[in-house]
Structure 1
């Protein structure tokens, strides 16, 4: 494939998956500037890896995997910097006091999970198969089923 054709194909595929990118950046970045940085880094890493994309998995699964790796790396860097900026007696964010709308409640619940668990839940809600989720997250089927069962139970507890 020529470079221009490859670039056009990549852009077409990415544009078709804007919703996936939006979910990733909103799940893993709280501030608009951080979301934009994360989106750019995901796209950069995806573009660099695109020549090796073989099509064995769906493009969305492949992009999820790259996005997740970039987001987790970004979170690790952010946590290191944030920990250095916290005063010694900081207990974390205050508990929310206002009633939640459904989307706000979902965001609140999802933020209570690790980044990988958050992605597992969102991919499940998006209808990805266990095989696709396992491929994106590097989990074996048995471990995936067990983890998902525990997460569903915890979501129910947090939701009510």
Structure 2
């Protein structure tokens, strides 16, 4: 594949699956500038890795794997710079629903959920993101480098942990 052809192919695939960039960056970064930086870092790493992409595999699976690795590395790097595990929540991530009382209650529940997610370790965040994106256990296993059995076990534990955290909050 010629360089220009490879670039066009990459751009088309990236555009078709750009939602993955938004999901991963939104899961690991709360501040808009940090999200934008992370999306650029992911896109750059995807471009560097693209010559090794095997078209026999699903592009979204390959993309998720790289995007999550970049995001987790970035999160770990930021954690060394700041020891505070909690990240301020971004008000733009919440939708107001219904009347003021319902909207306030909904906003508080969403904030609580994001606080619970922010406390998850990077692998559990990735697992939750992929599960919420309705990826199969087989695909999650392939992306995260786990066995399907391990994915099922971890998902069960993660769901229980989130239920407990939300109940106890």
- TM-score tier by shorter-chain length is 0.7 to 0.9
Match of 1:89 in 2: none
TM-score, structure 2 length as denominator?
Answer: 0.80
Q: 1:130 to 1:56 in 2, by over 3 A?
A: farther
TM-score, structure 1 length as denominator?
Answer: 0.84
8 Å CA contact 2:27–2:129 kept in 1: the answer is: no
1:131 and 2:138 matched: yes
Separation in structure 2 between the aligned mates of residue 115 and residue 100 of structure 1, nearest angstrom: 26
Q: Which of 111, 123, 128 is the matching residue for 1:121?
A: 128
Gaps of 5+ in 2: 90-103
**Paired positions, count:** 151
Classify the secondary structure of the residue corresponding to 2:82.
helix
Segments of 4+ in structure 1 off by > 6 A? Answer: none
Classify the secondary structure of the residue corresponding to 2:55.
coil
Displacement of 1:153 after TM fit?
Answer: 1.1
Separation in structure 2 between the aligned mates of residue 157 and residue 126 of structure 1, nearest angstrom: 22
Separation in structure 1 between the aligned mates of residue 110 and residue 59 of structure 2, nearest angstrom: 27
Q: Cα deviations across residues 10-29 of structure 1 (Å, max 9, x unaligned)?
A: 11111111211101111111
1:17 and 2:17 matched: yes
Match of 1:60 in 2: 60
Separation in structure 2 between the aligned mates of residue 79 and residue 56 of structure 1, nearest angstrom: 36
1:152 and 2:159 matched: yes
Q: 1:154 to 1:49 in 2, by over 3 A?
A: same
RMSD over equivalenced CA pairs, Å: 2.2
Q: Cα deviations across residues 57-82 of structure 1 (Å, max 9, x unaligned)?
A: 31111111101111111111111111
8 Å CA contact 2:127–2:140 kept in 1: the answer is: yes
Q: How does 1:1-160 map to 2 (within 5 A)?
A: 1-83=1-83, 93=86, 99-101=105-107, 103-160=110-167
Displacement of 1:35 after TM fit?
Answer: 0.9
Displacement of 1:105 after TM fit?
Answer: 4.6
8 Å CA contact 2:17–2:60 kept in 1: the answer is: yes
Separation in structure 1 between the aligned mates of residue 114 and residue 64 of structure 2, nearest angstrom: 19
